[in-house]
Amino acid sequence: MPSSKEDMTRRKFLREGLWGACLAGAGTAAGLSVARNNQNNMVWQIDPYKCIGCGNCATYCVLEHSAVKCVQAYAICGYCDLCTGYLVPEPKALDTGAENELCPTGAIKRTYVEDPYYEYTIDETLCNGCGKCVKGCLAFGNGSLFLQVRHDRCKNCNECSIAAACPSQAYKRVPTDQPYLLKKVDLKE
């Protein structure tokens, strides 16, 4: 039957055409991506000036122990005796007693420097990224304590689950070669 043969060629023609169109589509997707790519990968990071220390970083990370840890910017720290990032509101005493500490894991070490200054350092192995100290320091201190995603721990998920739960839109993608957003020393000279 000649009509059936003709039909087959038509079908084949359509098929080839579609095949070519799909390949072209894949090529377009690839081309567009290369054009948009900035030769650099992106990783997740917290903008410390947007972070409100809500505590989601400790609980929403896909890792059992969050990839987020606290960082101390010593140049900004006021070295206060009454540190609102270290001590609970209305502490019984200004000392290292556990009942006075705000940090639930005791990750902040308080050491005497000279009168009346105390140094606060963070033990990263203990820090769980809950941001309680960040909130305290932001509220009444200089804001020298802030949270950062640690890239040795972060899995760099395609969609960061903490970013999805962040109430202040503090998470953003930053280039791999500058993976941290640190607080700058911003003093009036």
Partner 1 sequence: MTRLACITVFSMAVLVPCLSALGELRFPPPEFESGYRFPEGAPLPAARPVLYEYADAVLLTVALLLASHLILRRRNRRAIFGLMVLALFYFGFWRDGCICPIGAIQNVTLTAFDSSYAIPLAAAAFFVIPLVFTLFCGRVFCGAVCPLGAIQDAVLIHPVRVPRWLESGLRLLAYTYLGAGVLFAAVGSAFLICRYDPFIGFFRMTGNWNILILGASLLFIGLFVGRPYCRFLCPYGVILRHLSRLSKRRVTITPNECIKCRLCEDACPFGAIREPTEDWPEGEYRIAKKRLVLFLVLLPVLVAAGGWGGYALKERLARLHPRVRTAERVFLEETGRVTGTTNASDAFRTTGQASEVLYREATAIRNRFAVGGGLLGAFVGLVAGGKLVALSVRRRRTEYEADRAGCFACGRCYESCPKEHERLKKAKGAVAGL
Among residue numbers 62 through 121, which ones bind partner 1 (CB under 8 A)? 62-64, 71-72, 74-82, 84, 89-94, 113-114, 117, 119, 121
**Identity (one letter) of the amino acid at 129?**
G
Least spacing, CB of residue 163 vs partner 1, in Å = 10
Among 2, 38, 98, 99, binds partner 1 (CB under 8 A): 38
Question: For residue 163, how many C-alpha atoms fall within 13 Å in the half-sphere facing its CB?
Answer: 16
Contact status, residue 130 vs residue 55, Cβ threshold 8 Å: yes
- Of residues 2 and 34, the one with the C-beta less far from partner 1: 34
Among 12, 26, 95, 97, binds partner 1 (CB under 8 A): 26
Among 18, 95, 97, 104, binds partner 1 (CB under 8 A): 18
- Of residues 25 and 104, the one with the C-beta less far from partner 1: 25
**Site for partner 1, residues 144 to 183, rule: CB under 8 A:** 148, 150-152, 154-159, 161, 164, 167-169, 173, 176, 179-180
Least spacing, CB of residue 2 vs partner 1, in Å = 18
CA distance 83 to 135: 12
Least spacing, CB of residue 110 vs partner 1, in Å = 13
Rg of the chain taking only CA atoms, in angstroms: 27
Q: Which two tokens stand for residue 93?
A: 């005493």
Q: Is the bond into 116 cis (omega within 30 degrees of 0)?
A: yes
Q: Which two tokens stand for residue 73?
A: 């910017």
CA distance 17 to 36: 28
Q: Which two tokens stand for residue 72?
A: 């101390």
Length of the chain: 189
- Of residues 6 and 29, the one with the C-beta less far from partner 1: 29
